[in-house]
Amino acid sequence: MNTNQNGLNMNEHAKNNQLAAFRVKHDDQVLTTDQGVHVSNTDDSLTAGARGPTLMEDFHFREKLTHFDHERIPERVVHARGFGVHGYFQVYEPMTQLTKAKFLQDPNVKTPVFTRFSTVVGSRGSADTVRDVRGFAVKFYTEDGNLDITGNNMPIFFIQDAIKFPDLVHAIKPEPDNEIPQAASAHDTFWDFVVNTPELTHMIMWLMSDRAIPRSYRMMEGFGVNTFRLINEQGIARFVRFHWKPLLGVHSLVWDEAQKISGKDPDFHRRDIWDAINKGEFPEYEFGIQVIEEQDEFKFGFDILDPTKFWPEELIPVKIIGKMTLNKNVENFFAETEQVAFCPSNIVPGLDFSNDPLLQGRLFSYLDTQLIRLGGPNFHEIPINRSIAPVHNNQRDGYHRMTIDHGKVSYSPNSLANNRPNPCETSGYQHYQEKVEGVKIRARSLSFQDHFSQATMFWNSMSPPEKQHIINAFQFEVGSVKDKQIKQRVVDLFNNVDHELAKQIAIGVGATQPGSGRTGASETSPAVSQLNTIMTAKTRKVAILAEDGFNHAEVSKLMNSLNGAGVCFEVISKNLGTIKSSDQKELEVVKNHHTGTSVLYDAVYVAGGRASVDAMLECGEALHFVNEAFKHCKTVGAANEGVDLLKVSSITGVNYSKGENIVSELGVLTQNKADNLTEFCKQFIDAIAKHRHWERESVKGTVPA
Ligand code: HDE
């Protein structure tokens, strides 16, 4: 591999150098003005007398205030709230047969990437865990120039034609008279648009599903959504859709938890990935492609150019061809995450677009939006947007131009500079020579008109708990709509998807139940159910509840086991500082009950030790912690005296162990006499790996999560 002495691949090195060239460290420096003049005092303005007016000549005051007054740029019109991280991509084996794209040829080459995750609807300061689609945008800095796969965490989109995008976004954003609600689709204008635009039906099913409340950016799939083309050296083209599959599996929060996190830690998702990368737990995603031969374009029961349809994996398998590793946090949020500019038209030789009408519109919109957001045509010169491939052309000037272009020639053809820079037919990007003909027409293809079959397929692919979550989501969202007619029309629209679903929506929102509707079996795509994903306890977060007098042997055994399995943990007590075990060993408390609440953890463990448990029994917070974790279907564990806390909690449907045996029911693990701690810890970790214990939701008396 072509590496430098730091073990970095040359491409990574090139990108790092580019960023480093602009990095300024301010440590140990004297404060200066923007002109480099040392400043003697930055706390007091220059005034005429100590109590007199500020003087115009105070250039430091004016410069400081002026810069501050201008330090905001417009937030993205959609996807304003996001978080970017650096990493690299490696292909597993040469993809020569399918594409000539250079970054997909050599498994030894690490292509630097910058990935920005986002929500769609909320403003820049909105909460991370709202119900929404998540953006999953990857910029590859390839040797052939920048390639952006600007995708989402759902494989389809709301609309079929980009001309409807402003309507969609106006409908879902806060209502314009009072700017309410923030970052939410649960309001009248959005559902009004839904009932009047049946092509949204399929995407609404995904939006009401658990996909819209991911547990972590590290546990989210990514999809290019639009259909692209792969082109090989022989000029043969094939249709392709792109996938990212997280090695930690695809997992979600539960709605009640997501809403609470929005208040407890609105930065939950960005903190999660920031902390993971700082700890060296680098998120990894495999890159997959679904490929359709040109001659098979019309072989399927849906139009492969329709972005409201996914390509079922069971029909068109996802071929895994590489992996992205995210291994470095940004140094400056504004410079990197805020200024990065993605654009689906950033493409490299070996790839091309299709006639997907949504994609065609996107090819225009992204560049256009950067012109206003980043203030002119030179945004490609901002360090995070620069390609590692050299840039030579006759584009000149404009706001904030950084490059000092040499010489007098800025036109083509020219003889003064030997006609340089000149195009090159062999290495230059060649558009695929697709034959197109037709009359100019404003009409939707007939092959785009089935809006319900795949929505039904999605519904029928869901497991019972996933179906229940969808019903709950509809009841929340449509229940928040004020207009009765809209509520009824939602029920009627989704009666085309599934009659039982429509009935349940109607019951929940007080609408009339539809007479008859779509029922019975249809095709399914098991791959879209999150129950069929990778299950691992790695990087999950456990809360250990303990107070003075805890059982040190037991807790340290648990901690060692968790460490061994790559599971994180934090000790939570009534007060911060340290607690002492029954044998006087000290343990640091990371959170108290004000700063550490159950919704920020994947599992909870109640430590044994008589005095510790007695203190917890007196403290409503510990009980609330356990109850809430149970309600959210999280793994709950307790050994020795710790079981006493569970016995007085509102946990239902669980029999506690009476003897030495480990009892594991509904994801609640207990052992009265913890001699067999090794086995107990193993089972506790296995239970965490299951993510959630949905079977609890069907136990009578359990509040649904
Ligand atoms: Fe976007 N989209 N979009 N979009 N989109 C933007 O570009 C647009 C669509 C997506 O982290 C904007 O730089 C149109 C589909 C992501 O910076 C804007 C249409 C998918 C991001 C824009 C779509 C996406 C954006 C706003 C046709 C999934 C954030 C700011 C209906 C495949 C990228 C910006 C980042 C951002 C337009 C539909 C994903 C206005 C016209 C489909 C991940 O240009």
Which amino acid, 521? A
Mean pLDDT on 607-634: 96
**Residue 82 Cα: closest atom of ligand 1:** 11
- C-alpha dihedral, 540 to 545 to 546 to 552, nearest 10°: -30
- DSSP-derived secondary structure for 225-252: -S-EEEE-TT--EEEEEEEEEETT---B
Note whether residue 305 is domain-resident.
yes
Q: Does residue 517 share a domain with residue 556?
A: no
Q: Does residue 577 share a domain with residue 490?
A: no
Q: Does residue 485 share a domain with residue 571?
A: no
**How many A from CA of 158 to the centre of ligand 1?**
12
SS3 category, 443: coil
Q: Does residue 297 share a domain with residue 267?
A: yes
Residue 390 has a pLDDT of 97
Residue 6 has a pLDDT of 63
Residue nearest to atom 24 of ligand 1 (CA): 151
The tally of domains found in the chain comes to 4
**How many A from CA of 294 to the centre of ligand 1?**
27
For residue 116, which of 11, 308, 273 has the smallest C-alpha distance? 273
Residue nearest to atom 42 of ligand 1 (CA): 157
**Residue 340 Cα: closest atom of ligand 1:** 17
590: domain CATH number? 3.40.50.880
Residue 662 has a pLDDT of 87
Indicate the average pLDDT of the chain.
96
**How many A from CA of 540 to the centre of ligand 1?**
31
Q: Does residue 488 share a domain with residue 610?
A: no
Rounded Cα gap, residues 200 and 2, in angstroms:
48
Token readout for 73 is 């740029």
Token readout for 288 is 């997959």
Q: Does residue 110 share a domain with residue 20?
A: no
Domain of residue 499 covers 458-528
24: domain CATH number? 4.10.91.20
Among the ranges 45-54, 512-521, 650-659, 675-684, which has the highest mean pLDDT value?
Answer: 45-54
482: domain CATH number? 1.20.1370.20
99: domain CATH number? 2.40.180.10
Boundary-marking domain end, from 489, 505, 528:
528
Q: Mind listing the pLDDT tens digit for each residue in 193-243?
A: 999 999 999 999 999 999 999 999 999 999 999 999 999 999 999 999 999
Residue 674 has a pLDDT of 61
Strand (E) or helix (H) holding 573: strand 568-573
C-beta of residue 129 within 8 angstroms of C-beta of residue 269: yes
**How many A from CA of 472 to the centre of ligand 1?**
28
Residue carrying the six token digits 């990108």: 15
Rg (CA), the chain: 28
Q: Inform me whether the pLDDT recorded for 79 exceeds 90.
A: yes
Q: Mind listing the pLDDT tens digit for each residue in 426-435?
A: 999 999 999 9
Quote the distance between the C-alpha of residue 45 and its chain's center: 45
Mean pLDDT on 592-615: 97
| Neighbour count for residue 392 (Cβ, 10 Å) | 9
| Band of pLDDT at residue 496, cut at 50, 70 and 90 | very high
**Residue 150 Cα: closest atom of ligand 1:** 43
Q: Does residue 583 share a domain with residue 675?
A: yes
Reading phi first (left if > 0) and then psi (alpha if -120 to 50, else beta), residue 46 is in: beta
- Pocket perturbation via mutation, ligand 1, pick of 365, 372, 374, 385 by most ligand atoms within 8 A of CB: 365
| Band of pLDDT at residue 625, cut at 50, 70 and 90 | very high
Do you know the residue count of the chain? Answer: 705
C-beta of residue 663 within 8 angstroms of C-beta of residue 657: yes
Residues sharing a CB contact under 8 Å with residue 145, sequence separation 6 or more, in sequence order: 346, 348, 387, 389
Note whether residue 106 is domain-resident.
yes
Q: Does residue 505 share a domain with residue 626?
A: no
Boundary-marking domain end, from 352, 370, 385:
385
Note whether residue 416 is domain-resident.
no
Rounded Cα gap, residues 524 and 459, in angstroms:
8
| Band of pLDDT at residue 78, cut at 50, 70 and 90 | very high
Rounded Cα gap, residues 498 and 490, in angstroms:
12
- Pocket perturbation via mutation, ligand 1, pick of 78, 169, 382 by most ligand atoms within 8 A of CB: 78
Residue carrying the six token digits 């680098």: 282
Residue 8 has a pLDDT of 74
Boundary-marking domain end, from 475, 503, 528:
528
Q: Does residue 163 share a domain with residue 133?
A: yes
| Band of pLDDT at residue 269, cut at 50, 70 and 90 | very high
SS3 category, 273: helix
Q: Inform me whether the pLDDT recorded for 705 exceeds 60.
A: no
**Residue 84 Cα: closest atom of ligand 1:** 11
Residue 4 has a pLDDT of 65
Residues sharing a CB contact under 8 Å with residue 497, sequence separation 6 or more, in sequence order: 201, 205, 452, 455, 456, 459, 518
Reading phi first (left if > 0) and then psi (alpha if -120 to 50, else beta), residue 610 is in: alpha
Name the strands in the sheet holding 668-671, side by side, starting at the edge strand that comes first in the sequence.
591-592, 568-573, 541-545, 603-606, 635-639, 668-671, 663-665
Q: Where are the alpha helices (DSSP H) in 138-183?
A: 165-172
Burial class (CB in 10 A: 0-12, 13-18, 19+), 122: buried
**How many A from CA of 133 to the centre of ligand 1?**
11
Rounded Cα gap, residues 430 and 70, in angstroms:
42
Rounded Cα gap, residues 184 and 132, in angstroms:
7
Residue carrying the six token digits 């029911």: 665
Residue carrying the six token digits 């049946």: 198
- Pocket perturbation via mutation, ligand 1, pick of 150, 159, 226, 360 by most ligand atoms within 8 A of CB: 150
**How many A from CA of 78 to the centre of ligand 1?**
7
For residue 382, which of 337, 321, 445 has the smallest C-alpha distance? 337
Token readout for 84 is 């970017």
Residues sharing a CB contact under 8 Å with residue 513, sequence separation 6 or more, in sequence order: 491, 502, 503, 506, 507
Mode of pairing for the β-strands spanning 591-592 and 668-671: unpaired
Rounded Cα gap, residues 14 and 143, in angstroms:
10
Rounded Cα gap, residues 472 and 466, in angstroms:
10
Residue 338 has a pLDDT of 98
Q: Mind listing the pLDDT tens digit for each residue in 105-156?
A: 999 999 999 999 999 999 999 999 999 999 999 999 999 999 999 999 999 9
Residue nearest to atom 41 of ligand 1 (CA): 362
Note whether residue 76 is domain-resident.
no
- DSSP-derived secondary structure for 515-536: SS---S-----GGGSGGGS---
Mean pLDDT on 158-164: 98
**How many A from CA of 366 to the centre of ligand 1?**
7
Q: Does residue 117 share a domain with residue 52?
A: no
Rounded Cα gap, residues 176 and 167, in angstroms:
13
- DSSP-derived secondary structure for 194-214: HHH-GGGHHHHHHHTSGGGSB
Residue 672 has a pLDDT of 81
- Give catalytic residue positions: 79, 152
The lowest-confidence range among 197-201, 342-346, 696-700 is: 696-700
- DSSP-derived secondary structure for 89-121: EEESS--TTT---GGGT-TTPPEEEEEEEEESS
| Band of pLDDT at residue 702, cut at 50, 70 and 90 | low
| Neighbour count for residue 327 (Cβ, 10 Å) | 15
b/e per residue 282-309 (b: at least 16 CB within 10 A)? ebbbbbbbbbbeeeeeeeeebbbbbbbb
**Residue 224 Cα: closest atom of ligand 1:** 32
Q: Does residue 501 share a domain with residue 617?
A: no
Residue nearest to atom 29 of ligand 1 (CA): 79
Q: Inform me whether the pLDDT recorded for 177 exceeds 70.
A: yes
Residue nearest to atom 12 of ligand 1 (CA): 366
| Band of pLDDT at residue 660, cut at 50, 70 and 90 | confident
Which amino acid, 546? A
Residue 10 has a pLDDT of 86
Q: Which residues line ligand 1 (CB under 6 A)?
A: 76-79, 82, 116, 118, 135, 137, 150-152, 157, 159, 162, 165, 225-226, 307, 341-342, 358, 361-362, 365-366, 369
**How many A from CA of 343 to the centre of ligand 1?**
8
Mean pLDDT on 583-594: 96
Q: Does residue 338 share a domain with residue 241?
A: yes
Note whether residue 419 is domain-resident.
no
DSSP state of 454: H
Note whether residue 316 is domain-resident.
yes
DSSP percent split of the chain into helix, strand, coil, nearest 5 = 35, 20, 50
Residue 175 has a pLDDT of 98
Note whether residue 430 is domain-resident.
no
Mean pLDDT on 636-652: 94
C-beta of residue 461 within 8 angstroms of C-beta of residue 525: yes
- Nearest 5 degrees, angle CA 651-CA 654-CA 658? 120
Strand (E) or helix (H) holding 544: strand 541-545
Note whether residue 493 is domain-resident.
yes
Which amino acid, 78? V
Most distant CA pair in the chain, distance: 93
**Residue 77 Cα: closest atom of ligand 1:** 26
